[in-house]
Structure 1
Amino acid sequence: MDQTPPSSDRPAAQQTGSSRERGLDRVIALLAHLHRVGRPVRVGDLARALSAPRSTVYSLVKSLTDASLLETVGPNGEVFFGKSMYFYGMDYLRAHDLFERARAEVDRLARETGETTQFCVLHEGKYTVAHMSSGQRPFRVSSEVGVGIPLPWTASGRLLLADFPDAEIRAMIAPGDLHPPRSAAMTIEEFLAAVAAARQEGSCITSGLIDPYTHCIAAPIRDQAGRVTATLCFVVLVNTPPERIASLRDMLVASGQSLSLAPVAKRE
């Protein structure tokens, strides 16, 4: 029998704590929604997206705006991320040396090769571009900075999972993740084999998984323990000669090793 007292009979401290937790959850959901849509949103639309009372969302928006975490940026009262977000992001970069060094390396590689270059990480179970520098090739890049993409759709995704046990990978990959938009569906066993191959090779090349006109070339960046913590990636045209692809791969591997915090064992 449920012995939990009704909310009106619960201690005031318990009700207050629960209310604060709900408020924090809504703040996180609000910020996540703004990040997901990537544009200013009216408060009424935020309330509908969060399935929350309009008065509650107005109150949250006011508190976040007062803290400069949000700003009113549109003619109809739309809100988006504020200046404090920028400063917090700069604090993150200062505290994480890899991100700052990787950004510089991506810009250098794009400048010297003319190819679109990316620095990629695993974020909330998705492949996510943390920094990108466009090359000189006139083609559309299929992934944007900060947008999560299913790991099986990318070369980097295979490397980012290289140190995960198969059981964890199975739990992380949803059935829909195994259906790239521009390629045939794969089984989880096929994807696990691709992860193992990338682990063994120390790099990965995929073709046409998201965009039928591009290859993706990726190399790992490792942490102090030697685990893959991020990747560098080139996105190149599908008609790029094989010798050029091999040269770009070797360049990425060298750059990844230079950014890594632990030496990489040579493959036998």
Structure 2
Amino acid sequence: MSSPESSRARGVDRVIGMLRQLHLAQRPLTMRELIEATGAPRSSVYELVTILAEAGWLEIAEDGSVFFGRVMHYYGSDYAQHNDLIKRSHQAILALVRKHDETAQLCTLEGNKYTVVLSENSSRPFNISSEIGVKVPIPWTATGRLLLGHLSADEIHALIPDEDFVLDNGKRVEFADFLHDIEHAAKLGYCCTEGLSNTFRLCMAAPIRDRSGATIAALCFMTSRDTDPAKRDLMLADLIGSAQALSKI
């Protein structure tokens, strides 16, 4: 690679790194924070922020902090309208929230982590949700147990970092137990977890499958563990039905 091409590639890598750090922070960052988070030279960060701000990708506040710009919202909206699964899932999630008044989400894997793609909260003051796009260890989730059903034990072991089996409360998920959960979820056709990543959280997940039958995503309900059993049954039935309607098999 020639020097100009190498320089351009570094510039692209730095832009990607800046956008990733803003997403991870979920808030505006000062220039100093952005420089420290990316490890890029100060001059490069200032130059790239100026260029991206002029293009509308970033916005610079009066205090000098930097965050995503309006144009990024337009691009995200274009993607959501173009992606058939996201478009149809959004309508399904809205219907689930309207009917049950519980937080509903579209979830999937991103690399070796779990992430929320879409989320709609309940209208109640108390709700449980995860930030869209934030990567979470797979063993912390019901969805992860559904999405790994096609992998062998060795492939799962190689995929998930050892530290990801430690929950945020310090408790460790044993690998054998995790494999059992994956197999059990595959047999049931859904997965429910209680108090896993949050003491008070109940998560229900139902698989969305492609034409080959592989699970590519999941619809999820996030609610509290004290949800009435009868309501749980109704929520789960509707969740499974919605996920099946979104599946292309």
TM-score band, normalised by the shorter chain?
Answer: over 0.9
Q: Deviations over 1:197-229 (max 9, x none)?
A: 111211001000122112111101112222111
Query: Whose Rg is larger?
Result: 1
Q: How much has 1:137 moved relative to structure 2?
A: 4.2
CA shift in 2, pair 1:183/1:251, >3 Å: farther
Structure 1 segment 36-75 matched on structure 2, within 5 A: 36-72=24-60, 74-75=61-62
CA RMSD of aligned residues (A): 1.7
User: In 2, Cα distance between the equivalents of 1:254 and 1:140?
Assistant: 23
User: In 2, Cα distance between the equivalents of 1:81 and 1:125?
Assistant: 26
User: In 1, Cα distance between the equivalents of 2:111 and 2:191?
Assistant: 22
Q: Is 151-160 or 136-145 further displaced after alignment?
A: 136-145
Residue 167 of structure 2 aligns to a residue whose secondary structure is: coil
CA shift in 2, pair 1:181/1:48, >3 Å: closer
Q: How much has 1:133 moved relative to structure 2?
A: 1.5
CA shift in 2, pair 1:256/1:187, >3 Å: same
User: In 1, Cα distance between the equivalents of 2:55 and 2:152?
Assistant: 42
Q: How much has 1:185 moved relative to structure 2?
A: 1.2
The match for 2:206 is: 219
The match for 2:185 is: 198
Residue 94 of structure 1 aligns to a residue whose secondary structure is: helix
**Is the 8 Å Cα contact of residues 202 and 220 (structure 1) preserved in structure 2?**
yes
The answer as to 2:108 corresponding to 1:115 is: no
Q: How much has 1:184 moved relative to structure 2?
A: 3.3
The match for 1:16 is: 4
The answer as to 2:21 corresponding to 1:33 is: yes
Residue 128 of structure 1 aligns to a residue whose secondary structure is: strand
Q: Which runs of 5+ in 2 are unaligned?
A: none
Residue 2 of structure 2 aligns to a residue whose secondary structure is: helix
The match for 1:83 is: 70
Residue 28 of structure 1 aligns to a residue whose secondary structure is: helix
Q: How much has 1:245 moved relative to structure 2?
A: 1.9
**Is the 8 Å Cα contact of residues 220 and 229 (structure 1) preserved in structure 2?**
yes
**Is the 8 Å Cα contact of residues 204 and 219 (structure 1) preserved in structure 2?**
yes
Give 1:27's aligned amino acid: V
- Count of aligned positions: 249
The match for 1:106 is: 93
User: In 2, Cα distance between the equivalents of 1:25 and 1:155?
Assistant: 33
Q: How much has 1:142 moved relative to structure 2?
A: 4.9
The match for 1:155 is: 142
Q: Deviations over 1:236-260 (max 9, x none)?
A: 2212233332222111111100011
Q: Deviations over 1:133-186 (max 9, x none)?
A: 212444342522221111111111111222233333212211221112247312
The match for 1:94 is: 81
User: In 2, Cα distance between the equivalents of 1:134 and 1:193?
Assistant: 31
Structure 1 segment 130-141 matched on structure 2, within 5 A: 130-141=117-128
**Is the 8 Å Cα contact of residues 166 and 192 (structure 1) preserved in structure 2?**
yes
The match for 1:6 is: none
The match for 2:247 is: 260
User: In 1, Cα distance between the equivalents of 2:22 and 2:232?
Assistant: 37
**Is the 8 Å Cα contact of residues 121 and 229 (structure 1) preserved in structure 2?**
yes
Q: Which runs of 5+ in 1 are unaligned?
A: 1-12, 263-268
**Is the 8 Å Cα contact of residues 121 and 127 (structure 2) preserved in structure 1?**
no
